[in-house]
């Protein structure tokens, strides 16, 4: 009985631990034809609470950050941004922010956009890209 309880807890944790869970999809995000690429949704720090401006220099790396395989550097003046990437590859992104006092902060996150073919959850069978959101917010502590 103890083993069954542990397995249930593990399954619930896995299902609800990700922002974009591949088991439960939003049919509005489905497409009828298999996509050739994924669109990463990059969410930047809103600039609230730390004196940060909501703009950042974003760097995209293929693979792990320590691999140092830089794909591009972009100045993003808003709070979110989208860019197209190849499916089934890991991407690590950094956002460099500067506060009102000239201090620099770096946020890091990664994504591994993958594709799933969904037959039963939506009205029609469709393709769904998951693990495509990157959150580059600074974690504030006092």
Residues 64-118: tens digit of each pLDDT: 999 999 999 999 988 899 999 999 999 999 999 988 788 889 999 999 999 999 9
Helix, strand, coil tally for the chain in percent (to 5): 15, 40, 45
- Mean pLDDT for the chain overall: 83
CB 136 within 8 A of CB 79: no
In this predicted structure, the answer to whether residue 130 has a pLDDT above a threshold of 60 is yes
Residue 24 is predicted with a pLDDT of 72
Tally of domains within the chain: 1
Number of Cβ within a 10 Å radius of residue 15: 12
What is the pTM for the complete model shown?
0.76
In this predicted structure, the answer to whether residue 132 has a pLDDT above a threshold of 50 is yes
End-to-end alpha carbon distance in the chain? 43
Residue 15 lies in a domain: no
Residue 103 is predicted with a pLDDT of 86
CB 134 within 8 A of CB 43: yes
Residue 109 lies in a domain: yes
- Residue 84 belongs to what domain range? 25-136
Residue 63 lies in a domain: yes
- Structure token pair of residue 51: 């004196």
Residue 2 lies in a domain: no
Residue 73 lies in a domain: yes
Residue 11 lies in a domain: no
Pairing of strands 56-62, 91-98: antiparallel
Q: Distance between CA atoms of 91 and 96, rounded to whole angstroms?
A: 17
Give me the phi and psi of 94, to 5 degrees please: -125, 145
**Gyration radius from the chain CA atoms:** 18
Please name the helix (run of DSSP H) or strand (run of DSSP E) that holds residue 62, with its range, or none. strand 56-62
**Residue 79: left if φ>0, alpha if ψ -120 to 50, beta else—which one?**
alpha
**CATH, residue 66:** 2.60.40.10
Residue 119 lies in a domain: yes
């Amino acid at each position: 009985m103890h083993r069954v309880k542990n397995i249930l807890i593990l399954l619930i944790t896995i299902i609800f631990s990700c922002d974009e869970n591949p088991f439960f999809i939003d049919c509005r995000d489905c497409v009828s034809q298999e996509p050739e690429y994924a669109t990463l949704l990059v969410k930047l720090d809103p600039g609230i609470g730390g004196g940060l401006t909501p703009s950042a220099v974003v760097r995209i790396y293929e693979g792990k950050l320590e691999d140092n395989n830089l794909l591009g550097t972009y100045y993003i003046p808003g709070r979110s941004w989208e860019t197209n990437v190849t499916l089934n590859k890991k991407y690590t992104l950094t956002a460099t922010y500067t506060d009102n006092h000239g201090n620099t902060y770096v946020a890091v996150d990664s994504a591994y956009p993958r594709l799933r073919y969904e037959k039963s959850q939506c009205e029609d069978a469709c393709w769904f890209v998951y693990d495509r959101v990157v959150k580059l917010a600074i974690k504030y502590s006092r």
